[in-house]
Amino acid sequence: MNKDIWVYVEQIEGKITNVSLELLSEAHRLKTKMQRPGQVVAVIIGSQLEELISTVQEYGAQKIYVADDKSLKLYEPQYYAAILKKLIKENDPHILLVGASALGSQLAPTVAAKVKTGVAAHCVELKISENDQLVAVVPAFGGKVLGDILCPKNRPQIASIKQGILDKPVKIEAVGEVIKVDLSFLTQVKTNLKPLKICREEPKGVPLEEAEIVICGGWGVGDQDTWHYLEKIAEKIGGAVACTRPPVDEGWAPGEHVMIGTSGKSVRPKLYLGFGISGATHHICGMKDSGLIISINRDENAEIFKVSDYGIIGDIKQVLPLLAEAVTK
């Protein structure tokens, strides 16, 4: 029985995703809460990973399993999950943390089904109980209810977490023994899928997850022209534009990658400005932990006011142009 905490370090196109580093820091935090802690161990899968290893060490991995092969260049669920399964069977880790990215959200349950254990999905908080078990807090009903999830009998106890929910990663230099995973078994892995290519675009401006100021528009923004004011303001003050579901559907917002909430991103900026947002729990669960929340809505009973520090009753069609003028002068 060991109490090792594993972190799946996701890399895409040779870059480690931010959530992976957040998870390494979280693993160290959890370790300090344990009576009899084990090690923080990283697993990284991909092709040509040499350059990434030092980063994994800098963020505190005390041991690193490296699965490096040409065939692993692009994510493929059966290959990636088979590697994790093999490592888990051989080493019996206590906890496995996975970033709830698009690929991680698939990998975690796949691995869990292979080793017959449980996953607490899209956690908002992780805790350790008296007997060193993981207690994961997960949202239900669009974030209106939170519940503790335990995985008492099976190991590892897996949890997936979205980027931006945990604290910013901190460097904790570790020696980080590197172990190359023997991949000869991969030829036996059967799959009906072949990843052809991956295409990504770096979003312009400040990334939403890193922005200190988030300017969020909802259905109440009303039209594309009014939407442009949000962009103008964000650009000027170095913030990021975000949205609720309707502006994605209407095509005012660039896409789901700037949507906040259950099916979108979780953010914790210093300042959140919300325009024309009703405050559905699906949205609130992604922004309620922001520093200061100011929202503007013409409906004085809007739910969003309950999670706001300042709720301004007003017409955003009037406020936005004025605000844009004020900041761009």
Partner 1 sequence: MGLNIVVCVKPIPDPKYYNEITIDPVTKTVKRQGIPTIINPIDKHAIEKALKIKEQHGGKVILMSMAPPDAQETLLEGLAMGADETYLLSDRKFAGADTLATSYVLARGIQKIGEIDLVLTGTESGDGATAQVSSQLGEWLGFSHLWGVVNCEVKSQDDIYLKTKIENGYMEWSGKLPMVFAVSREINTPRYTSIMGVMKAKKKPFTIWSFQDLDLDEVYVGLKGSPTQPGDIFSPDMGRKGEILKISKEEAVELIIEKLRANGINIESFFSGCVRGERNE
Ligand X SMILES: Cc1cc2nc3c(=O)[nH]c(=O)nc-3n(C[C@H](O)[C@H](O)[C@H](O)COP(=O)(O)OP(=O)(O)OC[C@H]3O[C@@H](n4cnc5c(N)ncnc54)[C@H](O)[C@@H]3O)c2cc1C
Q: At what angle do helices 316-328 and 224-237 cross, to 10 degrees?
A: 30
Q: Which does 276 bind (CB under 5 to 8 A by kind): ligand X, partner 1, none?
A: ligand X
d(CA 82, CA 79): 5
Reference 160, options 112, 208, 128, 115; nearest CA is 112
User: Taking CA 112 as the corner, what is the angle to CA 110 and CA 117, rounded to the nearest 5 degrees?
Assistant: 160
**Cβ 25 to partner 1 shortest distance, Å:** 20
Q: Which listed residue (280, 287, 307, 323) binds ligand X by CB under 6 A?
A: 280
**Cβ 213 to ligand X shortest distance, Å:** 18
Q: Does 293 contact ligand X by CB under 6 A?
A: no
* Backbone conformation region of residue 60, classed left if phi is above 0, alpha if psi is from -120 to 50, else beta: left
Query: Would you call 321 exposed, middle or buried from its count of C-beta atoms within 10 A (0-12, 13-18, 19+)?
Result: middle
Q: Which does 299 bind (CB under 5 to 8 A by kind): ligand X, partner 1, none?
A: ligand X
Residue with token string 């309707």: 246
Q: Does 298 contact ligand X by CB under 6 A?
A: yes
Q: Does 259 contact ligand X by CB under 6 A?
A: yes
Residue with token string 């992780």: 126
Q: Which does 154 bind (CB under 5 to 8 A by kind): partner 1, ligand X, none?
A: partner 1
Q: Does 37 contact ligand X by CB under 6 A?
A: no
**Cβ 241 to ligand X shortest distance, Å:** 14
Q: Which does 259 bind (CB under 5 to 8 A by kind): ligand X, partner 1, none?
A: ligand X
Residues of this chain that interact with ligand X (CB under 6 A) are 218-220, 222, 244-246, 259-264, 276-278, 280, 282-283, 296-299, 302, 315-317
